């Protein structure tokens, strides 16, 4: 994702969703494994809930530049 953003004008790239950031390069998987001892159940539950959201109808968050 970082390479994509550095290679293109950020305004020409489609809006990034929070889900895309978490999924890119397995960011959430790596973070949750590295921090499994300090992550609370509620944090894991809420991230998993957010990851299951698809589309604006479920209030998906989009980051626009």
Looking at every residue in the chain, the average pLDDT score rounds to: 76
Closest CA relative to residue 22, chosen from 55, 58, 57, 49:
49
Confidence of residue 18 (pLDDT cuts 50, 70, 90): confident
Do 27 and 1 form a contact (C-beta atoms < 8 A)? no
Measured between alpha carbons, how far is 17 from 62 in angstroms, rounded to an integer? Answer: 4
* Domain count along the chain: 1
* Domain extent at residue 39: 2-63
Residue that wins the pLDDT comparison between 59 and 20: 20
Confidence of residue 40 (pLDDT cuts 50, 70, 90): very high
Residue 11 is predicted with a pLDDT of 56
Tokens of 8: 């293109």
């Amino acid at each position: 994702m970082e390479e994509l953003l550095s290679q293109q004008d950020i305004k020409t790239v489609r809006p990034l969703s929070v889900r895309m950031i978490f999924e890119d390069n397995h960011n959430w998987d790596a973070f949750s494994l590295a921090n499994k001892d300090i992550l609370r159940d509620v944090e894991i539950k809420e991230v998993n809930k957010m990851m299951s959201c698809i589309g604006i109808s479920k209030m998906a968050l989009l980051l626009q530049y």
